[in-house]
Amino acid sequence: MFDHAMRIRDYLKTRLDVELGRAAQSNIIHVETMQHSMIQQGTVSSSQGQIASALDVAALAALIHEIRSADLLLSGTDRSILNGDLETIEAQLRRPHPTLVIVRESLRSARAALEGAGAALLAAKVAQFLGLLPF
């Protein structure tokens, strides 16, 4: 019986809030990690937009050159994987409009190979560049 009374009370309070124009809603958002995102709450007939910056081709080419110039301790398989990732990125950079998904995934794979090779500084630079990529 008590539960039923509580539901009625909550319903009546909500109806009263609506009648009086008071906001009866509460939102709590916990975001662990978010990049290039927008949140919009409690609005009526609103819109929002976001413009992403273009891929910095020169900066990415310089990063690839830096990785290629590094003296990395990689096994044959790991070196082949890293070279494949770098070649994929270089091929995308030659396109008039690089496909960002391919660039992003190749960078993620290259970062993993660099971390495995003990090249933490280069891996951190790749991670930083990944954070700058639009969507």
What does the domain layout of the chain look like in residue ranges?
57-132
Residue 34: partners with Cβ closer than 8 Å, 6 or more residues away: none
Q: How does pLDDT run across 47-105, given as a tens digit for each residue?
A: 776 655 577 888 899 999 999 888 888 888 888 999 999 999 999 999 988 888 899 99
pTM strictly above 0.85: no
Residue 45: partners with Cβ closer than 8 Å, 6 or more residues away: none
